Amino acid sequence: MLSQLRRIVQDVAQEPALDNALAGLVSSIKTALATECCSVYLADYQQQHFMLMATDGLNQDAVGKVAIGFSEGLIGWVGQREEPINLAQAHRHPRFRVTPEVSEDRFSAFLGCPIIHHRKVLGVLTIQQSAERVFSEDEESFLVTLGAQLASVLANAEMRDAASQSPSTMAKSGQLSGLPGAPGMAIGEAYVLQPSSDFDAISLKKSDEPEKELALFYRAVKITKAEFNRLAERMAGHIPADALAIFDVYHQLLDAASLGQEIELQIAEGWCAKSALKRVVEKFARQFDDMDDPYLRERGTDIRDLGQRVLNNLLDSEQRKVKLPQQVVLVADNVTATMLAEVPREQLVAIVSLRGSVNSHAAIMARALGIPAVMGVNELPLLHWQNQQVIVDGYEGHILLSPVEAICAEYRRLINEDAELSARYQQEVALPSQSACGKPFKLMVNCGLAIELETSNAEYTDGVGLYRTEFPFIMRNRFPTEQEQVELYQKVLSGYADKAVVMRTLDVGGDKALPYFSIIEENPFLGWRGIRLTLDHPEIFLVQIRAMLKANIGLDNLHILLPMISDLAEVDEAIRLIRQASFEVSDELNIALPKPKIGVMIEVPSIMYQLPELAARVDFCSVGTNDLTQYLLAVDRNNARVANLYDALHPSVLRALHQLSEQARQLQFPISICGELGGEPAGVLVLAAMGYSRFSMNNSNLAKIKWLLRRVKVAELEAILPDVLACQSPKQVKQLVQRFLEQKQLLSQLRA
Ligand code: PEP
Ligand code: MG
């Protein structure tokens, strides 16, 4: 059953035309369930009806013509109830509607199952039979499972169909929705970067230049064979000789007499090289998948691995051919720091990440660079984006593909308005950071990504509240040496001489992966990350601390911050290692070193309850609201599927933050905010109302936040605090802050 299911879903995913995919789908289901009829209806939300798209059993002439209203008949009922309906005598059911065009009189039994993607009903699958019987539980669960798996494939297929239409049609239908990742709007050309290729992302395409495609394929095979030779040489002596034989097998498979020949035939039939490769690899891999012998089944994996390598090399040559547009909208499955580094800053106008959400690091990086970003736009496969003109609206999380000129003109007007507002904030950037009633605030910057950019406002800030040291680690292909780190840290410390610079020790793991130190875990956010990893690797931790201490000589503005602390023993061990590094450096250079202040990040809920013990051990703490929200709400900050649940303005998060500020005040324990919440207008107002006065944020937000704080009085904020804390949902909190801003006539000036 499982392999049948898998095959049906794969067949649909592989077929380039939606009509053909659905026609194949209904026939496969009919055969798999040995039933008499299977049909699929797709929802049309503009027309408010389900259209019969394919059938094997009903009248073929009705396909594409029979539409059933959302509130009509059994199909409409399945859609409304969003659950399967299983009836022995469908025609007796009060919701049954006679539709003569489909000729279904001979059928009695009916099982309808909704196809739902992201809570939206995309369509209905039905099976019918003449016998008066209720379909079995097995049949029902087969259809439900299939419906669930098909949902994302169909969502993709629909977008694929839309994308292949003319640009003017796309202007009407080509709006994609994602999640707002970084504010701002931009117009540019999509430039797709892929870290590694994925067969799922390849949509099948024909080409009318078979010779060119064949040449591309031969070239990719040549490179792949050379790679295998290198790999085999490197492995020789490390793995048994018989295991090395796999490379010979790969060579043979690529030869003209084997898979190679099949691929050449597909190219001759008109498929482009990538499509030919995908079709052949998937066909053979599936044949092996279905074999009973476990050894032979494994060969399916080998074929996929081999295909993947050839595909990488095919895409590589393709990517090299693509010229970087003037205004780059960087599109990737998951945007990484290294990808950002590949595009010159002056050409990069926006970022679109198919995966991730508002608080994943791609979004944080975009905000740090002041570039609009939309996250989690996974409806359209990666390769469909290449070279399309794109409008990115990072406020709303919308994308417009190939928009008409009138829409572009409207967005250009909005972009200009935005620039005027930014200029207005910038005019006050040199004025003191204080409220309208004179209460001083400390506004610091979060940095680590592009030091030149991040020191540009240095004189108007109160220093660096969070230097994320992992970004320089991520950009390399090995751990940076102690000397490389010293030079890097010196730039930051001297860029902010006389101001505090809070440097966080390496915080990798979770969604921050080092390309050269892979951590594969089932649940990485609850796993080996931050301080847990570095305490297990004192050789990494000590080198980093030594580099920080050396860079601090003569400047004395270093503060060290420990990430992901969940237990006091971790603090004690980290302090011990910092002391050890300090002795070593002092000994090596024969000088007395300045003693940096040490702080702890409050981002794991457990440590919130040990604040007195923490205050007795370290000099300060800094609240990482990004992770604290993720851990308090049990919502992965990187997962677009649950992004609607991730909200730092959730009443529980706000109550936790209030409790923290109260306790820190009683303990006289210096506390600051370095998560994204402190750089957002609603967030900073609520936090200031709680008594927080030190905020570290992206450079691009600082002028706006200063402008805002200078226009409110602390007493006004304190007055709304009880109502904020009594809110029952993030939405209520936002409405409350919005009302406050409206009353103060500030709302319209906060964004375009
Ligand atoms: C946080 O978790 O709020 C934080 C500032 O750290 P990061 O986003 O780097 O995990
Ligand atoms: Mg964090």
Taking a C-beta distance cutoff of 8 angstroms, is the pair 714, 439 a contact? yes
SS3 223: helix
Give residue 602 CA to ligand 2 midpoint distance, Å.
Answer: 9
CA 675–ligand 1 middle distance (angstroms): 6
Assess whether the C-beta atom of 674 lies below 6 angstroms from ligand 1: yes
Residue 157 in this model has a pLDDT that exceeds 70: no
Q: Quote the CA–CA distance of 462 and 460 in Å, as a whole number.
A: 7
Residue 295 pLDDT grade (very low, low, confident, very high; cuts 50, 70, 90): low
Mean pLDDT of 13-17: 73
Q: Using one digit for the tens of pLDDT, what is the confidence trace for 486-495?
A: 999 999 999 9
The answer to whether the CB of 626 is under 6 A from ligand 1 is yes
Report residue 711 as tokens.
Answer: 């226009």
Q: Which atom of ligand 1 is nearest to the CA of 466?
A: 5
Mean pLDDT of 92-99: 92
For the CA of 361, the nearest atom of ligand 1:
8
Q: What percentage of the chain carries pLDDT values higher than 90?
A: 58
Query: Average pLDDT, stretch 536-553?
Result: 96
Strand ranges of the sheet holding 389-393, from the earlier edge strand across to the other edge: 175-177, 398-401, 389-393, 185-193, 328-332, 348-353, 373-375, 179-182
Please check the confidence at residue 544 and state whether its pLDDT lies above 70: yes
For ligand 1, atom 10: residue with the closest CA: 627
Cα 331 to ligand 2 centroid, rounded to whole Å = 25
Beta strands in 480-540 (DSSP E): 501-504
| 670 vs 698, higher pLDDT | 670
Residue 373 has pLDDT above 90, yes or no: yes
pLDDT tens profile 170-198: 334 578 888 899 999 999 999 988 765 56
**Mean pLDDT of the region 703-713:** 97
How sure is the predictor about 550, in pLDDT bands with cuts at 50, 70 and 90?
A: very high
Strands (E), 485-618: 501-504, 558-562, 597-602
| Cα 446 to middle of ligand 2, angstroms | 12
Q: Which residues contact 402 (CB under 8 A, 6 or more apart)?
A: 167, 170, 171, 174, 388, 389, 390
Q: Is the CB of residue 35 less than 8 Å from the CB of residue 55?
A: no
The mean predicted confidence, pLDDT, of the chain is 88
Mean pLDDT for 682-710 is: 96
* Nearest of 464, 433, 466 to residue 626 by alpha carbon: 466
The ligand with the least distance to the CA atom of 564 is 2
Mutate to test the pocket of ligand 1, among 602, 603, 623 (most ligand atoms within 8 A of CB): 603
In this structure, the strands spanning 501-504 and 464-468 are: parallel
- Considering every ligand atom shown, identify the ligand nearest to the alpha carbon of residue 364 and give its number: 1
Q: Is the pLDDT of residue 201 over 80?
A: no
> What residues are labeled active site?
361, 674
Specify the higher pLDDT residue, 141 or 475: 141
Residue 133 predicted with pLDDT over 80: yes
Enumerate long-range contacts of 335-339, CB under 8 Å, 24 or more apart.
335/362, 335/365, 335/366, 335/373, 336/195, 336/362, 336/474, 337/361, 337/365, 337/449, 337/471, 337/474, 337/475, 338/474, 338/475, 338/515, 339/193, 339/195
In the prediction, which pLDDT does 453 show?
64
* Ligand index nearest the alpha carbon of residue 628: 1
Residue indicated by tokens 């592989």: 14
Give the separation between CA 107 and CA 116, rounded to whole angstroms. Answer: 26
What ranges make up the beta strands (E) of 183-248? 185-193
Q: Pick from 365, 506, 602, 626 the residue to mutate for probing ligand 1's pocket: most ligand atoms within 8 Å of its CB.
A: 626
What's the gap in Å between 742 CA and the centre of ligand 2? 33
**Is residue 455 a contact partner of residue 490, using CB atoms and an 8 Å limit?**
no
Comparing 110-124, 452-466, 656-670, 727-741, which segment has the lowest mean pLDDT? 452-466
Residue whose tokens read 């003037």:
326
| Beta carbons of 456 and 496 less than 8 angstroms apart | no
DSSP 131: S
- Is residue 322 scored above 80 in pLDDT? no
pLDDT band, very low/low/confident/very high, at 658 (cuts 50, 70, 90):
very high
Ligand 1 centroid–CA 641 distance in Å is: 20
- Evaluate whether 352 touches 340 at the Cβ level (below 8 Å): no
Q: Which residue lies with its CA nearest to atom 9 of ligand 1? A: 468
Kind of pairing between the strands at 501-504 and 185-193? unpaired
- Highest-confidence range of 104-118, 149-163, 319-333, by mean pLDDT? 104-118
Task: Assess contact for 78 and 60: CB atoms under 8 A.
Answer: no
Among 529, 601, 694, name the best residue to mutate to test ligand 1's pocket (greatest count of ligand atoms within 8 A of Cβ). Answer: 601
| Closest residue CA from atom 8 of ligand 1 | 626
Ligand 1 atom at minimum distance from 603 CA: 2
Which pLDDT score, from 0 to 100, does residue 169 have? 39
Mean pLDDT of 615-628: 98
Residue 625 Cβ < 6 Å to ligand 1: yes
Tokens standing for 91?
Answer: 């025609």
> Residue 696 belongs to what H/E stretch?
strand 694-698
Four-residue CA torsion sign, 100, 106, 109, 114 = negative
| Cβ neighbours of residue 321 closer than 8 Å, sequence gap 6 or more | none
| pLDDT tens, position by position, 23-73 | 999 999 999 999 999 999 999 998 999 999 999 999 999 999 999 999 999
Please name the residue ranges forming H helices in 39-182.
73-81, 137-163, 167-173
Is the CB of 603 inside a 6 Å radius of any atom of ligand 1?
A: yes
Nearest listed ligand to the Cα of residue 449:
1
Q: Which of 507, 561, 638 to mutate to test the pocket of ligand 1 (most atoms within 8 A of CB)?
A: 507
User: Residue 2's pLDDT band (boundaries 50, 70, 90)?
Assistant: low
What are 235-265's pLDDT values in tens digits?
666 556 666 676 777 777 777 667 888 888 8
- Name residue 198's amino acid: D
> Which residue has a Cα nearest atom 1 of ligand 1?
624
pTM of the model: 0.74
Report whether residue 638 contacts ligand 1, using a CB cutoff of 6 Å.
no
What percent of the chain has pLDDT above 70?
A: 90
Ligand 1, atom nearest to 364 Cα:
8
Closest residue by CA, ligand 1 atom 6 = 624
The pLDDT, as a whole number, for residue 326 is 93
pLDDT of residue 149: 81
Ligand 2 mean position, distance from CA 358 (Å): 14
> Tell me, what's the pLDDT at 665?
98
